[in-house]
Amino acid sequence: MTREIKSVSLDASAREALDLLQKMQISGLPVIDKDGRLAGMFTEKDILSYVLPSYIEKVGRFVYEENPKSIRRKFAELDKIKVSQLMRKEVVTVSEETTLCEAARLMLTQKARRLPVVDKSARVVGIVSRGDVLKAMSQEAQGT
Amino acid sequence: MLKKFVFLIFISLGTGILSRYIGLNSRQALAISIFSASVLGTLFFWDFRLSFAFLGISILLMSHTIDIAHVIEFSSLDVILFLVGMMVLVGLMKDAGFFAWIVGLILRVKNITALKFVVVISVVSALLSTMTSEVVSIIFMVAAVLEICDYFEVDPAPFIIIAVLATNIGSAATVLGNPVGILIAAKAGLTFEDFIIKAFPLAMACLLVTIFVVIIWYRKTIKQMDERIKELGANEILVKLISVPTDRQLKISLAIFGATLFFISLHHRLELLWNLEPNTILMTVPLFSSGCVMLWKWKRARDYIEKDVEWWTLLFFMLLFAQAGALKYTGATDVLARNLSRLAGNSLPALISIVLWVSAIGSSILDNVVLVAAFIPVIQSFQALNLNLHPLWWALLFGGCFGGNITLVGSTANIVALGILEKERKIRISFFQWFGVGLTVGIITTVIVWLALVFVPFYRY
């Protein structure tokens, strides 16, 4: 897992979080409350879901030939919107004691790209990605 | 939450005790009490409505108020299967891009003016809901309204309200417009033709009046939009905003949907020709078509059944119908019908007025399916009193559909539309912002129906 993690606070604006994602070239960040506990995950997908009209899935098959005017307005609104309003609150987590296979199982069944690693008081101590799990599994397999 | 729960228990028990007091037996009182709990459950705890329905039917079975055979008989499986078939077909049409194509058509209206926009969204909302149900129709209309209002930078709330009002009115016009339509058709033995001959013209007359009312009500908003259209010019970006490939899939889907509507519209004639029981073809055509869809799209068949059919709602309907059936089974509705008839002085116009206005006011607060399910056994019991039931069924249909316009929680279409508006534009419409125009349209359209049902002999038979 990666121990040096970047995170955002609940009160940070969605724009700040997006800038951080782009600067770090990552797709998701843990969101931390004032006590340092995990409050949610904020990802690029959350921004896309906000920016595109919510009814697109319900309308069915079509092709956007132009960008709707609402997208510019919604991007401008990112400065005013807090991370807490867009983040996913239900996050699957693991602990440092979780086995590799259990982390892999959670990633597959919960469709998670990365899992925050938390201690007993829900403070984030790291983050584990699919690549981390595969790398560790591969090393373990070669060692046996 | 606890207060609401205590209130629910208090009212349900109170209704049961009162029923015993006025002479109903213990089974009848229990059936009324359980049904009251389910109705209040939907009112106070919408997300838990299925829990209330499950608990209610279990108590009715365990207390010998009704038996399993009658629960199945009263659960109106024919109506449920009809709705399953239609939901699969709507899923196919969505996949094929039919609804996006309708949205595209609205975005492409040439030489748009605010007045033209109001007329177009009202007429398309009403017609789309006559074919695909109010809840399906409103999603696409809201999508179109939001895109157009975004483009011209005007407040979408009044136009969303207009689309919803028209949708609810259109939903009364055919058996496909609203679950209460097919439910009434099944219980009353009414055909698609009956709806086209009697309900459709009345609904369209009400739509016309509604368009006039909203044009006057929102005259300032319409003027503001016209100014924005002049400033921003024609809807060039909107014209090419979305496209739907007119491929084989869309053509076949349209053919299946068109054939379904064709056979539904001719079901009565075909049943007569083939000597089938009334409404056999009406109920089976959507099933036959969705069977064909699942053969054609066999890889998506499970998705159509698991994702496009709203099992949560349908299960609730089934158990609610069974609970309403328990009222009939125990004879509770016969007693209610006798008392209601006595109250109306055995006068048909008075009974029409009671059914129409009670169902309109009731469905402004409650889900109209709950209300109609409760009324159906009462109206059936009027038959024993040798009353002409036809105008009463129409009164129930129109009251149940038009009452939904009165408040912002009056129908599922209202809740869906306002939910999207809040999520997309952070606009929350207040109760009174809706109530002013909703009550005006609700009263005017219900009065039109009342005049037609009471004074026009055509609606008597």
State the SS3 of B187-217. HHCCCHHHHHHHHHHHHHHHHHHHHHHHHHH
Residues of B whose CB is below 8 A from A76 = none
- A119: region left, alpha or beta (phi > 0 left; psi from -120 to 50 alpha): beta
Contact B424 A54 (CB under 8 A): yes
The angle at the Cα of B12, spanning B7 to B13, to the nearest 5 degrees, equals: 100
* pTM as predicted: 0.89
Instruction: Choose from A49, A67, A69 for mutation: most chain B CBs within 10 A.
Output: A69
Contact A54 B423 (CB under 8 A): yes
Q: By the 8 A CB rule, do A5 and A99 touch?
A: no
Amino acid at B451: L
Contact B240 A54 (CB under 8 A): no
Residues of B whose CB is below 8 A from A73 = 150
Residues of A whose CB is below 8 A from B96 = 60-61
Give the residue among B363, B333, B321, B313 at the shortest CA–CA distance from B172. Answer: B363
Give the residues across from A2 on adjacent strands. Answer: A127
- Spatial neighbors of B160 by CB under 8 A, at least 6 apart, are B142, B145, B146, B417, B418, B421
Burial category of A140 from C-beta neighbours within 10 Å (exposed 0-12, middle 13-18, buried 19 and up): exposed
What are the Cα distances from residue B99, in Å, to A62, B102, B195, B254, B284?
9, 5, 24, 11, 24
Contact A60 B240 (CB under 8 A): no
Q: What ipTM was predicted for this assembly?
A: 0.78
Nearest Cα of chain A lies from the Cα of B138 at a distance, in angstroms, of 11
**Distance (Å, whole) CA B247 – CA B433:** 44
Q: What are phi and psi of A114, to 5 degrees?
A: -145, 155
Mean pLDDT of A80-106: 94
Mean pLDDT of chain B: 92
**Distance (Å, whole) CA B458 – CA B461:** 6
Residues of B whose CB is below 8 A from A63 = 242-245
**Distance (Å, whole) CA B16 – CA A77:** 54
Contact B150 A54 (CB under 8 A): no
- Only one residue has tokens 């006559």, namely B130
Contact B95 A60 (CB under 8 A): yes
**Distance (Å, whole) CA B149 – CA B99:** 19
The angle at the Cα of A80, spanning A74 to A83, to the nearest 5 degrees, equals: 90
How confident is the prediction along chain B (461 residues), in pLDDT tens digits per residue?
A: 788 889 888 999 999 899 888 888 899 999 999 999 888 888 888 888 899 999 999 999 999 999 999 999 999 999 999 999 999 999 999 999 999 998 888 888 888 899 999 999 999 999 999 998 899 999 999 999 998 998 888 999 999 999 999 999 999 999 999 999 999 999 999 999 999 999 999 999 999 999 999 999 999 999 999 999 988 877 777 888 888 888 888 999 999 999 999 999 999 999 999 999 999 999 999 999 999 999 999 999 999 999 999 999 999 999 999 999 999 899 998 888 888 888 888 889 999 999 999 999 999 988 889 889 989 999 988 887 777 889 999 999 999 999 999 999 889 899 999 999 998 888 889 899 999 999 999 999 999 999 999 999 988 77
Residues of A whose CB is below 8 A from B412 = none
- Only one residue has tokens 């503001």, namely B224
